[in-house]
Chain A
Amino acid sequence: MNFAGLVIPLLFAGVFVYALVKRVRLYDSFTEGMKEAIPLIVSLFPYLAAVLMLSELFEKSGLSNAVTAFLTPAFRALGIPPEIGKLVLLKPFSGSGSTALLSELFSAYGPDSYIARCACVAYGSGETVFYILALYFAGARRKNLLPVLIALFSNFAAVVFGCLLCRIL
């Protein structure tokens, strides 16, 4: 994995050297870009806060556990190990929560077990849909149920597919 570590420093160095050759005022440009960071986060903050509060409520109220228990038979029928059901459900809501859950699964079943491998695929093939929804459609006053459903469905299909792959590969 050394290669992955090299990408970012090389990218920065390469672009900055190219910019210098093109006589770009590096310091001025770099700081000017940063000016947009605070306004951007200020406009996103309320949506982020609301979504995170909701996901916290969902988790702490025990509803997320109840839903997991309820869906376990369905998961088993689709070939998803019930142990990772909670991860599949949590992933769209909380990135940090599912990261924590993933490492719990590693220590409970061992990182090379079938369950852990399925969990990796479930974690890696999807995204935190509701977080992205909060960010990307912040303040957009329109119905956007369809893309959300499509994203959730596609991610779920990928989990089913990934668990199947883990059994074969």
Chain B
Amino acid sequence: MNAIFAALFLLCAAVFLCSDPNGFLGALLSGGQKAATLSLSLVAVYCVWLGFFKVLERSGLSEKLARAAFPFAKRLFRSEDKEALYLACGNLSANILGLPGAPTPLGVRAAERFCAAKNRYAADMLFVLNATSLQLLPTTVIALRLAAGSSSPADIFLPTLLSTALSTLLGALLLFLFSRRRADG
């Protein structure tokens, strides 16, 4: 990440120097501003879902749900850490249901635990699954199409579902293959 950041940053800076030196600081500031507003809205989202998940945890429901998904998650992430697996399961199911904002707080905490346990494969797998989008119902797209006056806004459901399934499966498979090669070599 350090190398990518440095390379892209310097490249952009060089382009700014040649074309529009005065726009440089403005672009940085507007990025910072976006981060600030995004963080505020994320705080609201985290409050709702972390509160909800605490209730879920206390009621004992989450343990029941996790127990059902456990054998699968253990193999998927190659981890025995109950707490982290529970968080990861919650993250994946919230992703699939498309609950807005719910996956992030769970996923971030699961990734922290995986990283702390030096379980690199699990953290990578969690990242790839999240970064290839698991969402079953593309709610944002459908709402946008409806707003734009589409005659059948939901008809992109099938192609989207198929291609997002492809991206997730492909990602998981590639990571699996690469990690095996790494383990062998």
Contact with A along B144-185 (1 / 0, CB 8 A): 111111111110101110111011101100110010000000
**Residue total for A at the interface (Cβ-Cβ under 8 A):** 87
Total cross-chain contacts (CB, 8 A): 289
Question: What are the residues of chain A within 8 A of B9 when measuring CB–CB?
Answer: 54, 57
Decide: B160 and A147 in contact? CB cutoff 8 A: no
| B132 contacts chain A at the CB level, 8 A cutoff | yes
| A77 contacts chain B at the CB level, 8 A cutoff | no
Decide: A150 and B50 in contact? CB cutoff 8 A: no
Q: How far is the CA of A52 from the CA of B36 in the complex (A)?
A: 10
Decide: A150 and B130 in contact? CB cutoff 8 A: no
Decide: B12 and A57 in contact? CB cutoff 8 A: yes
Decide: B151 and A112 in contact? CB cutoff 8 A: yes
Q: How far is the CB of A89 from chain B (nearest CB, A)?
A: 13
The listed residue (A1, A36, A140) touching B154 by CB distance below 8 A is A1
Q: Tell me whether A24 and B166 are in contact in the complex, defined as CB-CB below 8 angstroms, given that A49-B32, A99-B144, A111-B150 are known contacts.
A: no
**Residue total for B at the interface (Cβ-Cβ under 8 A):** 94
Residues 63-82 (chain A) with a chain B CB within 8 angstroms = 63
| B111 contacts chain A at the CB level, 8 A cutoff | yes
* Residue from A62, A117, A151, A157 having most chain B Cβ neighbours under 10 A: A151
Q: Tell me whether A154 and B35 are in contact in the complex, defined as CB-CB below 8 angstroms, given that A37-B47, A121-B159, A147-B127 are known contacts.
A: no
14 cross-chain CB contacts under 8 A: A1-B146, A15-B52, A40-B50, A52-B31, A56-B34, A60-B30, A120-B138, A120-B160, A124-B135, A124-B141, A136-B130, A144-B127, A165-B159, A165-B163
**Contacts from A to B (Cβ < 8 Å):** 1, 4, 7-8, 11-12, 15-16, 18-19, 22, 24-26, 29-34, 36-38, 40-41, 44-45, 48-50, 52-63, 96, 99, 102-103, 106-107, 110-112, 116-117, 120-121, 123-127, 129, 132-133, 135-138, 140, 142, 144-148, 150-151, 153-155, 157-159, 161-162, 165-166, 169
